[in-house]
Chain A
Amino acid sequence: MKSIIAVFTVLTAIIAIWYIACVPMNIKGVLDGAERAGIEVVPETARERRDMSEIGLVISNRFAIDETWSQDRPRLPAPHQVAVELWETTVEKKITSKRSLIYHGQVTLSATLLGFAIGTGLGILLAVGIVHSRVMDMSVMPWAIVSQTIPIIALAPMIIVVLYSVGVQGLLPKAIISAYLSFFPVVVGMVKGLRSPDHMQLDLLKTYSASTAQGFWKLRLPSSLPYLFASLKIGIAASLVGAIVGELPTGAVAGLGARLLAGSYYGQTVQIWSALFAAAILAAALVAALGLIERLLLGRMGVKT
Chain B
Amino acid sequence: MNMETTTQAPEPQATGSQSSAQATVIEAKNLDLTFQTNDGPVHALKDVSLNIRKGDFVSFIGPSGCGKTTFLRCIAALERPTGGTLSVNGMTPDEARRQRAYGYVFQAAGLYPWRTIAKNIKLPLEIMGYSKTEQDKRVEQVLDLVELSGFGGKFPWQLSGGMQQRASIARALAFDADILLMDEPFGALDEIVRDHLNEQLLKLWARTNKTIGFVTHSIPEAVYLSTKIVVMSPRPGRIHDVIDSTLPKERPLDIRDSPEFIEIAHRVRDGLRAGHGHD
> Which residues of A approach B to under 8 Å, CB–CB?
200-201, 203-210, 214, 218-219, 222, 298, 301-304
Given known pairs A207-B104, A209-B97, the reply for A304 and B157 (CB within 8 Å) is yes
Inter-chain contact total with CB atoms closer than 8 Å: 49
Give Cα A304–Cα B114 distance, bound, in whole angstroms: 9
**Residue numbers in B under 8 Å from A207 (CB-CB):** 76, 78, 97, 102-104
Give the distance to chain A from B159, nearest Cβ to Cβ, in Å. 12
Chain B residue at minimum C-beta to C-beta distance from A206: B78
Q: Which of A204, A207, A298, A302 has the most CB of B within 10 A?
A: A207
CB pair A303–B127 under 8 Å, yes or no, is no
**Residue numbers in B under 8 Å from A203 (CB-CB):** 78, 104, 106
**Residue numbers in B under 8 Å from A218 (CB-CB):** 123, 126-127
**Given A206-B78, A302-B114, A304-B113, 17 more contacts at CB 8 Å?**
A200-B110, A203-B104, A203-B106, A204-B104, A204-B106, A205-B127, A207-B76, A207-B104, A208-B127, A209-B97, A209-B98, A214-B127, A218-B123, A218-B126, A298-B114, A302-B155, A303-B113
Which of B107, B112, B124 lies in contact with A208, CB distance below 8 A?
B124
**In B13-63, which residues have CB < 8 Å from any A CB?**
none
Chain B residue at minimum C-beta to C-beta distance from A204: B110
B interface, over-half SS? loop
- Interface size for chain B: under 10, 10 to 19, 20 to 34, or 35 or more residues? 20 to 34
Give Cα A218–Cα B155 distance, bound, in whole angstroms: 16
Give Cα A303–Cα B115 distance, bound, in whole angstroms: 9
6 A-B residue contacts at CB 8 Å? A200-B107, A204-B110, A207-B103, A208-B124, A298-B114, A302-B115
Is residue B192 within 8 Å, beta carbon to beta carbon, of the partner chain?
A: no
Is residue B108 within 8 Å, beta carbon to beta carbon, of the partner chain?
A: yes
**Residue numbers in A under 8 Å from B113 (CB-CB):** 302-304
**Residue numbers in B under 8 Å from A200 (CB-CB):** 106-108, 110
Is residue B128 within 8 Å, beta carbon to beta carbon, of the partner chain?
A: yes
**Residue numbers in B under 8 Å from A304 (CB-CB):** 113, 155, 157
CB pair A208–B115 under 8 Å, yes or no, is no
Give Cα A118–Cα B70 distance, bound, in whole angstroms: 46
Is residue B200 within 8 Å, beta carbon to beta carbon, of the partner chain?
A: no
Q: Which of A201, A203, A204, A206 has the most CB of B within 10 A?
A: A204
Give Cα A210–Cα B129 distance, bound, in whole angstroms: 11
**Residue numbers in B under 8 Å from A301 (CB-CB):** 114
**Residue numbers in B under 8 Å from A209 (CB-CB):** 97-98, 100, 127
